[in-house]
Amino acid sequence: MSVSAPTQSAGENAAGNGAPNAALALVGIGRRYKEGDRTLEILSDVNLILRPGETVALVAPSGAGKSTLLHIAGLLDRPDDGEVYLGGRACSKLSEDARTRIRRLDIGFVYQFHHLLPEFTALENIAMPQLIRGLSKAEANSRAMQLLKYMKLEARAEHRPSELSGGEQQRVAIARAVANAPRVLLADEPTGNLDPSTASYVFEALASLVRASGLAALFATHNMELANQMDRRITLSNGQVVEI
């Protein structure tokens, strides 16, 4: 199955970002928070490039800024300094409406907990983002079933989340995250709530989908065994990204 990312025009390439073919580029990112009279610098001059089809593990202790980095990369937060490029387009200073549209079409999110809608079936959960995008019900359901087959869950299409195992729930959540063929997938401890055997299976399914679709993926994880299976490993040290 092909799950291709949206194409970009040559005019969208960001001049000066150093990576015109990057799916995601963070350039000089800084983020600070006020705490009373103090200013806490969480991120400082962060530079990171994710290329299509690449898996990158973000491994860092709690409090190092992983969530802040993911939120900025996913356009859920704005940096104080620097720029976020999605497919070569500068996004940090866009309006909230424009950023919301980019999140809907170009970014997929997977969290530790699946956050599936309990009253809908697996098929309906995956079809939902596509219906919001404007696809017909027939088109959305067809693609949702394609993704379920790819994740080896076609027999569970009509089951609700409560009828699925933890690993099945997470695989449905992954399929939902890529339903709109995003450029970038951001995963925050996507296997952290699973036993080791199930975590390994879910990660293999996720990594296979990333490579087959050509999207770029950034995984925040504490699981070094899984991190070592990714293309690159990075950490945060003194607010900066460092290659492991």
Q: What pLDDT does 124 receive? A: 96
Tokens found for residue 147: 């993704």
The span from the CA of 30 to the CA of 24, in Å, is 16
Assigned fold of 52-79+94-243 = Rossmann fold (3.40.50)
CB-based contacts of 35, cutoff 8 Å, min separation 6: none
pLDDT in tens, 105-156: 899 998 877 889 999 999 999 999 999 889 999 999 999 999 999 888 999 9
Q: What pLDDT does 10 receive? A: 31
Q: What pLDDT does 20 receive? A: 63
pTM here?
0.81
Report the amino acid identity of residue 46. V
The span from the CA of 180 to the CA of 156, in Å, is 21
Domain ranges of the chain: 52-79+94-243
The span from the CA of 181 to the CA of 178, in Å, is 5
